[in-house]
């Protein structure tokens, strides 16, 4: 029986790490949907096109090549900010929606993480998790991540970016970041990756028992 797990939450909440661990545990394909938007933004930046060019962003989304998702440059801090801008374009979201739903239709199921998985992409997902953490803790995590990659950034600057991104993602008209009514919230502020994984597994197993 297919198992579709939808994981949403703000930047640096730990949802990506958790999604990968859950996908490995259950033997399911995993899609970090944020990479789709980063790839669209990256295509514009590489072509020297302004991120505010909605028509160009839409064309990039419509012609997105899945092979481009493996480019390590998509993980750069600048691409996260750029992705947040292009993801607010309704036409871009519409172009990528079918892509995401095809991925989720794998016969075995799938794990998808993003910001509108439980509300828009997979509203009928078997399990919906909303992963959150305090803005300061998320900034600390992102700071450690960037430092580990040799990228220079201040904690204060990252915190400001995260707060601005939260506001932008939550207030956009197209598929804003919000928790689905039937999602379970998991606050990871005080949890390490192993503890978050254990709690998420418990939530998933309870949901499976409830329908099985």
Residues 123-158 pLDDT 10s: 999 999 999 999 999 999 999 988 998 888 899 999
Its pTM stands at 0.91
Judge whether 118 is annotated as a binding position: no
pLDDT bucket at 20, cuts 50 / 70 / 90? very high
Give tens-digit pLDDT for 173-187.
878 889 999 999 999
Nearest one of 11, 1, 8, 4 to 204, comparing CA atoms:
4
Domains and CATH numbers, the chain: 3-211 (3.40.50.300)
Judge whether 16 is annotated as a binding position: yes
Judge whether 11 is annotated as a binding position: yes
Judge whether 82 is annotated as a binding position: no
Report the pLDDT value the prediction gives residue 72, as an integer from 0 to 100.
92
Report the pLDDT value the prediction gives residue 212, as an integer from 0 to 100.
62
Give tens-digit pLDDT for 81-91.
899 899 889 99
Report the pLDDT value the prediction gives residue 176, as an integer from 0 to 100.
86
Token readout for 71 is 């480019």
Judge whether 34 is annotated as a binding position: no
Sign of torsion over alpha carbons 26, 23, 165, 187: positive
């Amino acid at each position: 029986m297919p198992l579709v797990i939808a994981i949403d939450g703000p930047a640096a909440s730990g949802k990506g790490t958790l999604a990968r661990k859950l996908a490995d545990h259950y033997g399911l394909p995993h899609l970090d949907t944020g990479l789709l938007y980063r790839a669209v933004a990256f295509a514009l930046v590489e072509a020297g096109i302004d991120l505010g060019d909605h028509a160009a962003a839409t064309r990039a989304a419509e012609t997105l090549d899945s092979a481009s998702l493996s480019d390590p440059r998509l993980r750069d801090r600048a691409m996260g900010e750029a992705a947040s801008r292009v993801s607010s374009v309704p036409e871009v979201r519409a172009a990528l929606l079918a892509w995401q739903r095809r991925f989720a239709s794998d016969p075995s199921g799938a794990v998808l993480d993003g910001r509108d998985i439980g509300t828009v992409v997979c509203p009928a997902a078997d399990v919906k998790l909303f992963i959150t953490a305090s803005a300061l803790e998320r900034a600390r995590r992102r700071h450690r991540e960037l430092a580990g990659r040799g990228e220079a950034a201040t904690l204060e600057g990252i915190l400001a970016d995260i707060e601005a991104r939260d506001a932008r993602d939550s207030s956009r008209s197209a598929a804003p970041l919000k928790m689905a009514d039937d999602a379970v919230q998991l606050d990871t502020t005080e949890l390490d990756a192993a503890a978050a994984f254990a709690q998420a597994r418990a939530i998933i197993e309870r949901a499976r028992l409830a329908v099985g």
